[in-house]
Structures are given as structure tokens and as C-alpha cells.
A = this chain, B = another copy of it.
Amino acid sequence: MPVTIYDVAREANVSMATVSRVVNGNHNVKPATRKKVLRVIEELGYRPNAVARGLASKKTTTVGVVIPDIANSFYAELARGIEDIATMYRYNILLSNSDGNEDKERQLLETMLGKQVDGIVFMSERVSEGLRADMERASAPIVLAGSVEESAAVASVNIDYRQAAYEAVSRLTANGHKKIAFVSGPFTSNINQDYKLKGYTEALAEAGIPFDENLVVETDNFYEEGMEAYEQTKQEKPTAFFAGSDELAIGLIHAVQEDGFTVPEQVEVISYENSKLAQMVRPRLTSVAFPLYDIGAVAMRLLTKLMNAEEVEETQVILPHRIEERSSTRNA
């Protein structure tokens, strides 16, 4: 029922090859016939069938994006960075949530490859052995965004998580704190369990502070858990907190305040995210500024190069981070 390239060819008295040429901007077409074809396309309301085109050309101009949870503002920001650059390069996005579940991740990869995406941006809190193997033998280029896979077998864009954590905690030790708690996101994420935790312990060690396991608490990054974490660590009398996310930091601050202490005068809190939330609470959050949007954008840009088979000097890119000073910490 819909009008095809064939209908246009007939109406314009040319071959379908010629129609294809004008549709694809091929210059080998006489201006007069181009004009004629364009007019017929307009008249008939012809719209190229991208599926047929994809089958013939083996290019779909769509890239897959697998993300743990699009409703999580953290990942949503990343996704926006990906999408903007994808749009810029004329790609569309096939988006799926994995909920961080390995089976789903592998199955999603399979599905997207089946749909013949030209490339994939993948976000995962922990790339399993199996998933990494699948990625390596994938028929389309893949880049990890905000996700680290030890072997560096697949391209990725991140910040130096360990270093960022180290700096944040050093910011606290510099102010003389001896009891610094680390209220972390889930250790199912290797970034939390391996990198951020390491940065934390390194900063403590450097300041000659013994590691106290009662001062590190694992959470799912929820506000309420931040409040609970305060209760859990309270007996150790921590005077400073390194929070794994803004939500956690806010929960912590509220619990501290409800317990009768002031932030940052009596207790300092530094966060790790710097979302809009950081400026929507009192005191405003000092936080490691995590360039989510940029990570997504750079990952997508890298992917376009890979899809064009361009030479890429470095596939493991590390973006800079910084610490945004606000009011949940005292001036150093």
C-alpha cells in the first residue's frame, strides 16, 4: 500500500536506480531529472523504507544502548549525552534496560546484534567474563560508558574513579578528621568495590589513619539508606563522611542534623556525583563532579569512529573530574 521507490520511478519515467541516487544525494544525476524525481517524491509522499535499505546496504544507522536503569537520573544523564551525539551523526537509538542483570545484559546484546545495529554503547556495573567474551566476538563495535572492564579488551570511557575518591577523602583528612566513614553504593559494582574503596583506603593510609571496617557501609544508593548508614556508624563517632552518591549524602546530612549536629561545622560530608540535587539541599553539597553527560557523549563519539573503521589512538579514554566545593565541607 505505501508508495515504494518503484512507484516513484514509474511516475517520473526513470529507473529505480535513478530514484535511489537522488534520494541518497548521489551527484551523478542531471539537475533536470533530479528535480523531476524530487517533485514526484513530493507528490506521492514517498518515504524510503529504512528496513529494506538496511538489508541491502548492511547499515541500519541505529546504535544500541544498554543501560541498567533509565529511570535512574545518573544513567539518564549519560543516555542524554549518548543520544545527542548520536543524533548529530544521524544515528537513532535502540534503548534497553538491563537492571544490571547479567543474563539480561547478554540477551540484550544478542537481540541488538540480531537487529543489526551498527554499534553499541554499553553500561554495566560489572562486566562478567561471559559478557566480555560475547562483546569481543560481536559483529559490531562496542564501547563501554561509565563502566570498567579490567582486561581493557573493549573500548571504554570513564573517569579515574580511584583517584577521584582519593582526592575526595584527602580533602577530608586534610581537615584533620580521623574518623571518616565511606557510605558506598552497591559493591556489585566493581567501581565501588574496587576503585572507590581503594581510593578511600589509600587516602586514609597516607594520612596514617587505620582502616576501620565498621566505617564502611554498603548501600543501594538510596536516600533512606544514607540515613540508616549514619545510625550504623554512629557508635564509631565519625566526624566526616564520604558518600557514594548525592542521595546518600543528603540522607547522611539529614540524619546528622536530626541527631543534633551541624554540617559542615561539626560533621563534614563530601559526595560523589554532583547532580542537580547537590544544589537543592541545605547545606549545598561539596561533591566530586562526575561528568556523566560528557562520558556518554564521548563514548558515542568514539563509537562513531569505530563504526567508520577510523584509526583510534586510544580506546581506553579517561575524562577529567574535579571537586565542586560547596557548603557541606569547610574550607581547607
Contacts and interface: CB of A to CB of B under 8 A. Distances in A.
Interface of A: 2, 47-52, 54-55, 60, 62, 65, 69-73, 76-77, 79-80, 83-84, 87, 92-97, 110-116, 139, 223, 247, 250-251, 254, 276-277, 279-282, 293
Contacts of A111: 92
Given A77-B71, A113-B47, A281-B281, A94 B62 contact: yes
Contacts of A76: 70-73, 76
The 7 lowest CB-CB distance pairs between A and B, nearest first, are A71-B80, A95-B95, A50-B115, A76-B76, A51-B54, A51-B116, A50-B114
Nearest to A97: B83
Contacts of A293: 71
Copies per assembly: 2
A282 B250 CA distance: 11
A92 B63 CA distance: 12
A52 B116 CA distance: 10
Given A62-B94, A94-B93, A80 B69 contact: yes
Given A2-B139, A93-B94, A94-B94, A49 B114 contact: yes
A37 to B, nearest CB: 18
B80 A70 contact: yes
A280 B247 contact: yes
A70 B70 contact: yes
Contact of A96 (B50, B60, B93, B110): B93
Contacts of A52: 55
Given A70-B70, A93-B96, A279 B223 contact: yes
27 contacts: A47-B110, A49-B55, A49-B114, A49-B116, A50-B114, A50-B115, A51-B51, A51-B115, A62-B94, A62-B115, A69-B80, A70-B83, A71-B73, A71-B77, A71-B79, A80-B97, A83-B95, A83-B96, A93-B94, A93-B96, A94-B95, A95-B95, A247-B276, A250-B280, A254-B282, A277-B280, A280-B281
A93 B95 contact: yes
A153 to B, nearest CB: 19
A223 B280 CA distance: 7
A24 to B, nearest CB: 14
Nearest to A83: B97
Nearest to A224: B279
A51 B60 contact: yes
Contacts of A62: 94, 115
A236 to B, nearest CB: 25
Given A62-B115, A254-B282, A94 B92 contact: yes
B223 A116 contact: no
